[in-house]
């Protein structure tokens, strides 16, 4: 995989460089609530602009239905990128139409532009190879060189991620190079004990990575909504907690395999419960009750790990040589259910080894809860991509850059 440093050494002044970024940031209306992914691509964009390239930044945002939708416009992200660069950033109101062509042709050396949401075009995400290829051909007409730096999208076989690099000289940006280096530390050069903390809503989203980790990790800590399927698999009452009954047989098999392989599988010993899900808009007090994990009332819902579990998980992370954490421990968006996630984050900060926050809601939680990002070894910009890499899958966007 050739890197951006090789491209810069070859010279980029006057060249049109297409940077596939990941500007898929959360929005409240037009207000960005977490700009982490935009900040992550700034080093690549700035290096290219400073070297005289004409930089065309492209990304998806949300899941529009293959047609323009103002709710998913990249205009707020383009404005924020300009603020972070301290420079004007032009914005094209389409991707491969008249506006994009005019904006790109108007770029001076060192100029930066953002084109509109790639997913406003059905060809970006199409399962039809010919339709994707046709869109990639149009994107290729905008540029001379391709730089892949949207790590959060490399597990998608999309036109701008998979097909476009085949049409242009291609290089990995700084973010992707960093992310791949980190993932290799989690797979090829692991310092032990290797502890993995998994949370989030659905156990089905994590089954494949758990399958792999049962042969690699020393300890697995389970929290979030997925924990209740594990507790149910052990025969516990879980009330009205989030539950995937169809996954219970798989989970039972994993519990047995963990014991056989000598992997410590750690489940909550107590949880915070309430009769209903909290109001995340008003954040009104929820008044939860703490109960033992094997004593959840039939009419209550588990919404966070309890204080004894927080202490237990912190102790299991205290000597870790390597930590990977993906998924919050509870409904961290509400203050009454944020303590579990906060405790795991603090345990990562305190851990002596290399710590990785695996993107997605975990990364958002770290920022929302006020942690210093520099206190962690690495905060990934791609939760889904990280998990699929750890599962051993070939990621289309990385494969395209390696060709």
- Listed range (96-105, 237-246, 359-368) with the worst mean pLDDT: 359-368
Query: Taking 80 as the threshold, does the pLDDT of residue 241 lie above it?
Result: yes
Does this chain's domain 4-178 share its CATH topology with 191-391? yes
Is 86 or 383 the better-scoring residue by pLDDT?
Answer: 86
Q: Give the CA dihedral 314, 320, 322, 325, nearest 10 degrees.
A: -10
Q: Which residues are annotated as a binding site?
A: 22-24, 37, 60-63, 119, 156, 206, 302, 333, 359-362
Structure token pair of residue 47: 């290096």
| Residue 225 annotated to the active site | no
- Binding residues for ATP are 206, 302, 333, 359-362
pLDDT attached to residue 71:
95
What are the extents of the domains in the chain?
4-178, 191-391
| Catalytic entry in 360, 382, 383, 397 | 360
The number of CA neighbours under 13 Å toward the Cβ of 24 is 21
Q: Who contacts 65 (Cβ-Cβ below 8 Å, separation ≥6)? A: none
pLDDT digits (tens, 9 = 90+) for 13-30: 999 999 999 999 999 899
Question: For residue range 384-394, what is the model confidence (pLDDT) as tens digits?
Answer: 899 999 988 99
* 2 is known as an active-site residue: no
Q: What is the pLDDT of residues 62-113, one digit of tens each?
A: 999 999 999 999 999 999 999 999 999 999 999 999 999 999 999 999 999 9
CATH node for 4-178:
3.40.50.1260
Per-residue pLDDT, 43: 98
108-128 pLDDT tens trace: 999 999 999 999 999 999 999
pLDDT on residue 189 = 80
Is residue 290 pLDDT above 90, yes or no?
A: yes
Task: Taking residues 151-180, report their average pLDDT.
Answer: 97
- Give residue-wise pLDDT tens across range 187-212: 988 999 999 999 998 888 899 999 99
What does pTM read for this prediction? 0.89
Residue 341 tokens read as 């996630």
Binding-site residues for substrate sit at: 22-24, 37, 60-63, 119, 156
Is 384 among the residues known to form the active site?
A: yes
Which residues sit in the known binding site for (2R)-3-phosphoglycerate? 37, 119, 156
Is 166 noted as a catalytic residue in this protein?
no
**32, 25 Cβ separation under 8 angstroms:** yes
Query: Could you say which of 46, 80, 185, 202 is catalytic?
Result: 202
Which CATH fold topology does 191-391 show? Rossmann fold (3.40.50)
pLDDT given at position 361: 85
> Rounded to an integer, what distance in angstroms lies between the CA atom of residue 294 and that of residue 269?
8
Catalytic residue among 20, 37, 54, 316: 37
Can you count the helices (H) and strands (E) in the chain?
15, 17
The 10s digit of each residue's pLDDT in 330-354 is 999 999 999 999 999 999 999 999 9
Mean pLDDT over the full length of the chain: 96
Band (31; pLDDT cuts 50, 70, 90): very high
């Amino acid at each position: 995989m050739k890197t951006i440093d090789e491209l810069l050494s070859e010279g980029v002044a006057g060249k049109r460089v297409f940077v596939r970024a990941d500007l898929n940031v959360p929005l409240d209306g037009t207000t960005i609530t977490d700009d982490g992914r935009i900040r992550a691509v700034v080093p690549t964009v700035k290096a290219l602009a400073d070297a005289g390239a004409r930089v065309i930044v492209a990304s998806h945002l949300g899941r529009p239905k293959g047609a323009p939708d103002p709710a998913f416009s990249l205009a707020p992200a383009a404005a924020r990128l300009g603020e972070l660069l301290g420079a004007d950033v032009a914005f094209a109101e389409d991707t491969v139409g008249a506006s994009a062509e005019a904006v790109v042709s108007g770029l001076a050396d060192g100029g930066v532009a953002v084109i509109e949401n790639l997913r406003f075009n059905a060809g970006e995400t199409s399962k039809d190879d010919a339709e994707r290829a046709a869109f990639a051909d149009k994107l290729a007409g905008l540029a001379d060189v391709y730089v892949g730096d949207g790590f959060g999208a490399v597990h998608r076989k999309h036109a701008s991620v998979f097909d476009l690099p085949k049409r242009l000289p291609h290089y990995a940006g700084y973010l992707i190079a960093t992310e791949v280096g980190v993932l290799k530390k989690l797979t090829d050069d692991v310092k032990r004990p290797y502890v993995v903390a998994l949370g989030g809503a659905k156990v089905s989203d994590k089954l494949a990575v758990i399958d792999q980790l049962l042969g690699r990790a020393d300890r697995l800590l389970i929290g979030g909504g997925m924990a209740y399927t594990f507790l149910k698999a052990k025969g516990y009452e879980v009330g009205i907690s989030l539950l995937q009954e169809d996954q219970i047989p798989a989970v039972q098999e994993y519990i047995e395999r963990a014991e056989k392989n000598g992997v410590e599988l750690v489940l909550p010993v107590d949880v915070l419960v309430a009769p209903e899900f909290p109001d995340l808009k008003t954040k009104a007090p929820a008044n939860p009750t703490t109960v033992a994990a094997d004593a959840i009332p039939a009419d209550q819902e588990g919404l966070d790990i309890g204080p004894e579990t927080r202490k237990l998980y912190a102790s299991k992370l205290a000597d870790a040589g390597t930590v990977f954490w993906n998924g919050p421990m509870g409904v961290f968006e509400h203050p009454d259910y944020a303590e579990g996630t906060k405790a795991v984050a603090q345990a990562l900060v305190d851990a002596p080894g290399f710590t990785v926050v695996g993107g997605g809601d975990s990364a958002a939680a770290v920022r929302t809860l006020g942690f210093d990002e520099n206190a962690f070894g690495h905060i990934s910009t791609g939760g889904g991509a990280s998990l699929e890499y750890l599962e051993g899958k070939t990621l289309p966007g990385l494969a395209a850059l390696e060709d």
